[in-house]
C-alpha cells in the first residue's frame, strides 16, 4: 500500500509537518508494518520526505539522529525498533536502512527477520521524480530482496531439523557398530539379534528418506537465493535503463546503495549454505554405507540360516527314505514267514536236528540281507545325486 501527502493543495505548497506526524498517524493497531499482514516474504517500508531548507545542506551522517527519531515515532515503543544498518545516498539524497536482517537463533529457536525500514530524504525535486518514474521497478527490487532473505530464513529452520536428523542417524549407526563389535569372533546372530538388526535397518531407511527430503529443500532454498539475487541485479539494471530512456542524467553509482545485497549479503548466504550442505552430505554418505552394510549382513545371515534349514530338511528326508525303503523291502521278504510252519523247527544243539537249514531261517536271513542292501543302495543313490553339479 502507498500513503502520500500532497505536496501542493489549492495551488499552494503544503506546510511543513513535524516528524511526530508519524506517531499521530500510526495507531495502536500499527498501520505501518502491521502484524496482521503475516506475509511470508516480510515487509519493507519506504518513507520519503523533503528536507526543510534548514536541513538541506547537512550530510547523511549529520542526519542519522533525525532518521532515528523518525523510526522512533513510526514504531510504537511496545515493539522492538530495528537498528540502523546502513547509511548512503540514492540519486544524491541521503537514505537510511533500518533492520531487514535475519537474526539467526542457531539451534535454540526460529530465525526472525527484523522490520525493514528505508528512509529517503530529498534535498530537491529531481531525486523524487526519478523515484516516481521507476517506482514500479523499485517495488520489484524490494520483492526480490525479500525473496532472498525469506529463503535464507527458511534454511535456518531446515538447518535445525537437518542437524537433529543427522544426530539421530549418527546415533543409529553407532548402535549398529556396537553390535558388530560384540560379534567380532563370529557373525552368527541369534533370532532376536537378527530381528533387532532388521528394526535398525527399517528405522535407518526412514530417517535417511527424511534426511534426503530436508537436504532437497535445503538445496531448493539455495537455488531460490541464487535465482532471486540474479533477478535483483537485473531489476537494478532495469531501473538505470528506464531512467536513461527518460532522458535523466543518471550514473550507475547512484544506485550503489542497492548493491550490498548482490555483492555481499547474498554471497555470504550462499557460502554458508554450501558449507552446511557439505557437512550434512557426509551424514547422507554415512547413512547409505550403514544401510548397505546392514542389508549385506542380514542377507548373508538369512542365506546361512536358509542353507542350514535346507540341509536339515534334506537329512531328514534322506533318513525317511532310507528307513522307508528298508522297511518296505524287509516287509516284502518277511512275507515268507509262513514257511516257519512248513517243517518242524530244530536247533543246532539238538541231537535230532535236520540236515538242512530250516526254510524260515533262510527267509529271515534273506529278508535282513535284502533290507540292508536296499538301504545301502538308496543311501548310495542319494549320495551320488548330491555329487551332481548344481545340486
Average pLDDT for residues 110-114, to the nearest whole number? 79
**Where is pLDDT greater, at 231 or 294?**
231
Q: How far is CA 16 from CA 31, 105, 149, 164, 169, in A?
A: 22, 43, 36, 57, 65
Query: In whole numbers, what is the pLDDT of the chain averaged over residues?
Result: 77
- Is the per-residue pLDDT at 188 higher than 90? no
How many whole angstroms separate alpha carbon 69 and alpha carbon 85?
Answer: 15
Q: How far is CA 310 from CA 187, 190, 381, in A?
A: 20, 18, 19
Average pLDDT for residues 260-280, to the nearest whole number? 91
Burial annotation 75-89 (CB, 10 A radius, 16+ → b, else e): beeeeebbebeebeb
- When pLDDT is cut at 50, 70 and 90, the band that residue 54 belongs to is confident
Average pLDDT for residues 379-384, to the nearest whole number? 76
pTM above the 0.75 mark?
Answer: no
Given a contact cutoff of 8 angstroms between Cβ atoms, the answer to whether 280 and 164 are in contact is no
pLDDT the model gives residue 17? 67
How many whole angstroms separate alpha carbon 355 and alpha carbon 346?
Answer: 10
Query: Residue 243's CB: how many other CB atoms inside 10 A?
Result: 21
- Provide the terminal-to-terminal Cα distance of the chain, rounded to the nearest Å: 83
- Is the per-residue pLDDT at 378 higher than 90? no
With cell 522512533, the residue in question is: 72
How many whole angstroms separate alpha carbon 213 and alpha carbon 205?
Answer: 12
- When pLDDT is cut at 50, 70 and 90, the band that residue 241 belongs to is very high
pLDDT the model gives residue 233? 95
Average pLDDT for residues 155-184, to the nearest whole number? 78
With cell 545325486, the residue in question is: 385
How many whole angstroms separate alpha carbon 41 and alpha carbon 211?
Answer: 26
**Where is pLDDT greater, at 9 or 260?**
260
How many whole angstroms separate alpha carbon 272 and alpha carbon 251?
Answer: 33
Instruction: Give tens-digit pLDDT for 298-340.
Output: 665 666 666 666 767 777 776 776 777 667 666 665 665 555 5
In this structure, of 140-144, 201-205, 229-233, the range with the lowest mean pLDDT score is 201-205
pLDDT the model gives residue 27? 59
With cell 539455495, the residue in question is: 222
- When pLDDT is cut at 50, 70 and 90, the band that residue 209 belongs to is confident
CA 338, chain centre distance (Å)? 86
pLDDT the model gives residue 287? 63
DSSP per position, 110-172:
--EE--EEEEEEESSHHHHHHHHHTHHHHHHHHHHHHHHHHHHHHHHHHHHHHHHHHHHHHHH
Beta bridge partners of 120: 48, 95
Average pLDDT for residues 140-154, to the nearest whole number? 93
pLDDT the model gives residue 372? 76
- Is the per-residue pLDDT at 379 higher than 70? yes
Amino acid at each position: 500500500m502507498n500513503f502520500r501527502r500532497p505536496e501542493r493543495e489549492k495551488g499552494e505548497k503544503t506546510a511543513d509537518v513535524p516528524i511526530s506526524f508519524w506517531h499521530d498517524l500510526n495507531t495502536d493497531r500499527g498501520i505501518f508494518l502491521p502484524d496482521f499482514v503475516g506475509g511470508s516474504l516480510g515487509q519493507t517500508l519506504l518513507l520519503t520526505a523533503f528536507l526543510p531548507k534548514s536541513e538541506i545542506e547537512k550530510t547523511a551522517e549529520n542526519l542519522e539522529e533525525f532518521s532515528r527519531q523518525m523510526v522512533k515515532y513510526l514504531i510504537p515503543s511496545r515493539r522492538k525498533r530495528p537498528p540502523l544498518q546502513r547509511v548512503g545516498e540514492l540519486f544524491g539524497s541521503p537514505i537510511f536502512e533500518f533492520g531487514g536482517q535475519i537474526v539467526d537463533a542457531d539451534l535454540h529457536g526460529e530465525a526472525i527477520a527484523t522490520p525493514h525500514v528505508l528512509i529517503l530524504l530529498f534535498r530537491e525535486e529531481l531525486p523524487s521524480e526519478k523515484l516516481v518514474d521507476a517506482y514500479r521497478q523499485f517495488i520489484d527490487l524490494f520483492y526480490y530482496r525479500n525473496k532472498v532473505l525469506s529463503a535464507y530464513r527458511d534454511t535456518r529452520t531446515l538447518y535445525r531439523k537437518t542437524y537433529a536428523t543427522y544426530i539421530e542417524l549418527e546415533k543409529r549407526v553407532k548402535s549398529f557398530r556396537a553390535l558388530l563389535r560384540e560379534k567380532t569372533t563370529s557373525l552368527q546372530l541369534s533370532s532376536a539379534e537378527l530381528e533387532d538388526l532388521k528394526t535398525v535397518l527399517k528405522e535407518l531407511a526412514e530417517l535417511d528418506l527424511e534426511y534426503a527430503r530436508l537436504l532437497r529443500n535445503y538445496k531448493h532454498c539455495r537455488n531460490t537465493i541464487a535465482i532471486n539475487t540474479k533477478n535483483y541485479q537485473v531489476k537494478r539494471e532495469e531501473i538505470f535503463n528506464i531512467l536513461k530512456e527518460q532522458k535523466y542524467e543518471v550514473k550507475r553509482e547512484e544506485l550503489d546503495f542497492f548493491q550490498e545485497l548482490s555483492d555481499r549479503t547474498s554471497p555470504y548466504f550462499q557460502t554458508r549454505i554450501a558449507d552446511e550442505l557439505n557437512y550434512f552430505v557426509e551424514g547422507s554418505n554415512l547413512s547409505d554405507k550403514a544401510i548397505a552394510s546392514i542389508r549385506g549382513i542380514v542377507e548373508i545371515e538369512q542365506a546361512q540360516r536358509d542353507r542350514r534349514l535346507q540341509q536339515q530338511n534334506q537329512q531328514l528326508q534322506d533318513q525317511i527314505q532310507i528307513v522307508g525303503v528298508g522297511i518296505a523291502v524287509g516287509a516284502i521278504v518277511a512275507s515268507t514267514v509262513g514257511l516257519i510252519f512248513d517243517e518242524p523247527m530244530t536247533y543246532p544243539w539238538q541231537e535230532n536236528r535236520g540236515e538242512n537249514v530250516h526254510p524260515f531261517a533262510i527267509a529271515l536271513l534273506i529278508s535282513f540281507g535284502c533290507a540292508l542292501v536296499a538301504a545301502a543302495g538308496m543311501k548310495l543313490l542319494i549320495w551320488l545325486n548330491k555329487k551332481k553339479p548344481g545340486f
